[in-house]
Amino acid sequence: MARTTSPAEELLYNPCEAEIISVADLTPDEKLFSLRMTDNRPLGHLPGQFVQLSIPGYTEAPISVASSPTRTGFFDLAIRRAGTLTAEMHRKVPGDTVGIRGPFGSSFDLTAFQGKDLLLISGGCGLAPLRSLIQYCQDCRDEFARVAVIYGARNPDALLFKNDLAEWRNSPAFDCSVTVDNVSGGDCFYGSVGLLPALIPPLEVIPKNTIAVVVGPPPMYRAVIEELKKKGMASSRILLSLERQMRCGVGKCGHCTIEHLYCCTDGPVFRLDQVEGVRGAI
């Protein structure tokens, strides 16, 4: 029978086996999985990219890589229990195997970041893809000027990566601010209380030397972008990571399109000026 895909294409379509090395609870709904490819090859990702995670009988889903390529021998996935596949993933234990395709999608342009002030802003689950970039900044600190990490969640229980946040807050390498929308009586919390966009006005921003990266839920994008614009930031200096429902992950099925853009191959990382005129993008 005639071959319909080349060997290179098959690498895009066929999941490779990865072993779960460790599992840790992040919140009641999110777990952090460390994995390694069972053939020991590096995943080969860049910050901002995603993989297609699969479990036989439980379909496939795009998941951002949550660790930096500078941390070798493993890669991290932070997974929220949302539906069929992710619920099954939450039942997995170290030693179990899963399928991985990718890495796929656009990444943060680390060359363009060199020598710049970075504003790394995330809300909720958005810290997962951003953690890859933050760890990269930690490991290659000399490549960048000032680095500010700004993170917001609904409440203290919903904060992802609490250990990392504590480390970043205590690190001289970063300026790290954390806020939650609200706290209740018994909560022990060290950050500020209020909506994330309120952390932007007090920042000292030099628009011509700053790149802002924003990852989070859609309502957060609008408010954060408005505050960044008030600081004089041009759209070409604001990067976003957009999530859409995906199937193939490689630009073939059309499930992830936003007008002419394919979220899986043109994105998930976009410059704001690429998407601000595109209906339904933000």
Ligand X SMILES: Cc1cc2nc3c(=O)[nH]c(=O)nc-3n(C[C@H](O)[C@H](O)[C@H](O)COP(=O)(O)OP(=O)(O)OC[C@H]3O[C@@H](n4cnc5c(N)ncnc54)[C@H](O)[C@@H]3O)c2cc1C
Residues that bind ligand X (CB under 6 A): 50, 59, 61-64, 78-80, 82-86, 125, 128, 243-246, 268
137 φ, ψ to 5°? -60, -40
**Residue 106 vs residues 7, 217, 240, 268: alpha-carbon distances, Å:** 22, 19, 11, 6
Q: Say whether residue 9 binds ligand FES (CB under 6 A).
A: no
Q: Say whether residue 12 binds ligand FES (CB under 6 A).
A: no
Neighbours of 278 (CB within 10 A): 14
Stretch 242-261 residues interacting with ligand FES (CB under 6 A): 246-249, 251-256
DSSP for 149-198 reads EEEEESSGGG-S-HHHHHHHHH-TT-EEEEEES---TT----SEES-GGG
In the complex, least distance from residue 251 CB atom to ligand FES, rounded to whole angstroms? 5
Partner from ligand FES, ligand X, none binding residue 15, C-beta < 5-8 Å depending on class: none
How many Å apart are CA 147 and CA 135, to the nearest integer? 12
In the complex, least distance from residue 75 CB atom to ligand FES, rounded to whole angstroms? 21
Partner from ligand FES, ligand X, none binding residue 150, C-beta < 5-8 Å depending on class: none
- By beta-carbon proximity to ligand X, the closer residue of 49 and 210 is 49
Partner from ligand FES, ligand X, none binding residue 249, C-beta < 5-8 Å depending on class: ligand FES
In the complex, least distance from residue 232 CB atom to ligand X, rounded to whole angstroms? 30
Partner from ligand FES, ligand X, none binding residue 212, C-beta < 5-8 Å depending on class: none
Partner from ligand FES, ligand X, none binding residue 82, C-beta < 5-8 Å depending on class: ligand X
CA atoms within 13 A on the CB side of 25: 5
How many Å apart are CA 241 and CA 250, to the nearest integer? 17
- By beta-carbon proximity to ligand X, the closer residue of 132 and 210 is 132
How many Å apart are CA 72 and CA 69, to the nearest integer? 6
Q: Say whether residue 217 binds ligand FES (CB under 6 A).
A: no
- By beta-carbon proximity to ligand X, the closer residue of 64 and 179 is 64
Contact between 38 and 19 (Cβ < 8 Å): yes
Among 137, 135, 139, 183, CA closest to 159: 183
In the complex, least distance from residue 33 CB atom to ligand X, rounded to whole angstroms? 10
Q: Which amino acid is at 232?
A: G
- By beta-carbon proximity to ligand X, the closer residue of 77 and 203 is 77
In the complex, least distance from residue 190 CB atom to ligand X, rounded to whole angstroms? 25
Q: Say whether residue 26 binds ligand FES (CB under 6 A).
A: no
Contact between 62 and 89 (Cβ < 8 Å): no
Binding residues for ligand FES, per CB under 6 A? 246-249, 251-256, 262, 264
